[in-house]
Amino acid sequence: MHLLFVVEAVFAIKERGVIATGKLADPDHARFYIGDPVEVHRHDGSVVHTVITGFPMGMMKVGMAEVLLRGVGKSDVKPGDEVWVSHTSG
């Protein structure tokens, strides 16, 4: 498991899910794919388990991560939380 990014912003898109964005912890070695399980490590010490279900089109910037997460609400992911990838499938 490795740190992908610290959440900088969270957006909810009706009928699509939650997008978490942030600067990649290690942009030269970051690899993550649709279907990868991730963990959101919250400030209170709790962990939210979810899956990457997409990448918003037109939003990607060099060194940034922007991922659509399955089964979480906007209140489940806050700025400052950490997104860790459990493993990569590619």
For residue 24, the domain's CATH number is 2.40.30.10
Residue 15: inside a domain = yes
Residue 7: inside a domain = yes
Q: What is the pLDDT along the chain (90 residues), one digit of tens a residue?
A: 889 999 999 999 888 889 999 999 988 888 889 999 999 999 999 999 999 999 876 555 667 889 999 999 999 999 999 999 976 554
Residue 23: inside a domain = yes
Residue 60: inside a domain = yes
Residues pairing with 72 in the sheet: none
Residue 90: inside a domain = no
Provide the residue range defining the domain that includes 73. 2-85
* Inter-residue contact 77 to 7 (CB < 8 Å): yes
User: How high is the pLDDT of residue 13?
Assistant: 87
Angle at 49 between CA 45 and CA 51, to 5 degrees: 145
Domain count, the chain: 1
